[in-house]
Amino acid sequence: MVGAVLASLLLLAATVWISRRATLVPGRFQAVVEFPIEWLAGIVRETGGKRWAEFAGLVIAIFLFVLVANLIGLVPGVGPISVFVEGEHGEPTFVPIVRAAAADLNFTLGLAIIAFVAFVAWGIRANGLGGYLKELLIAEPAYMTPLLTPIHIISELSRLISLSMRLFGNIFAGEVLLSVMLVLAGLFIPVAFLGFELLVAFVQALVFALLTMTYITLAIAEDRQHGEGEEHPGGTPDDSEASPAPGTA
């Protein structure tokens, strides 16, 4: 939780600083802050369909939050700096003061729940509650409903597990790897692994954000795929609306 709070404070401080000192020609710090936002906004714009602007803010916020939280976990001293506490049986136990936030399943599961609620909400918003439940509970053809409906429900809920466990597993494994290498190989050899973990921190933040975008895009596109056409009453959707955006499958 300390790592997550630190990530939140850093992002809030950067937001306040940029909002008060932003210029048309960005300085170095402003350019560094704006680059990942503009880059990811471009990806969402290209692959998120015509309604990309509605959820772009959520996708970018998740990416930045997870990325900063992951990078905090790689700062020298984070993890090894510990305090002694009394264990369950009275034995002394080391407890790190700060750890990578995503190395705790509570953090990743909390983010996964936010993403889950988001794409379900956008699916209901696009299709209506009845349309969303119809897509979830009634299969096509209808006689396959007893077989496919449980699969649909499990598939929907499994997104919680896949989102949370993927991020948690990679960050926790990296934390353990760096700790073991630091003990076995001294100070210099783990530097190579630290560079690898920097890449993992970035990739995992990007994967979590893009999967959230993909789930929302697919939830919005379900009414187009099945011809309900709620966004185009009395007309025929154009080609871009009739098929999901590239990269969302």
Question: When comparing pLDDT for 5 and 138, which is higher?
Answer: 5
Output the six-digit token pair for 52. Answer: 């990309």
Query: What pLDDT is recorded for position 207?
Result: 93
Query: What pLDDT is recorded for position 186?
Result: 64
Query: What pLDDT is recorded for position 198?
Result: 87
- Whether cis (ω within 30° of 0) applies to the bond prior to 36 is no
Distance of CA 139 to the CA centre of its chain: 29
Q: Using the 8-state DSSP alphabet, how is residue 25 labeled?
A: S
Query: What pLDDT is recorded for position 77?
Result: 67
Question: When comparing pLDDT for 80 and 229, which is higher?
Answer: 80
Confidence of residue 240 (pLDDT cuts 50, 70, 90): very low
Confidence of residue 123 (pLDDT cuts 50, 70, 90): confident
Average pLDDT over residues 224-248: 43
Confidence of residue 208 (pLDDT cuts 50, 70, 90): very high
Q: Would you say residue 206 has pLDDT above 90?
A: yes
Q: Would you say residue 247 has pLDDT above 50?
A: no
Q: Would you say residue 24 has pLDDT above 90?
A: no
Average pLDDT over residues 67-77: 84
Average pLDDT over residues 69-91: 73
Question: When comparing pLDDT for 138 and 167, which is higher?
Answer: 167
Orientation of helix 52-72 relative to helix 28-47, angle to 10°:
130
Query: What pLDDT is recorded for position 87?
Result: 65
Question: Taking a C-beta distance cutoff of 8 angstroms, is the pair 79, 73 a contact?
Answer: yes
* Total-model pTM: 0.76
pLDDT over 70 percentage in the chain: 80
Positive or negative torsion for Cα 8, 11, 17, 20: negative
Q: Read off φ and ψ for residue 96, nearest 5 degrees.
A: -60, 140
Q: Given the structure tokens 């790897």, which residue do they identify?
A: 177
Query: What pLDDT is recorded for position 126?
Result: 80
Q: Would you say residue 63 has pLDDT above 80?
A: yes
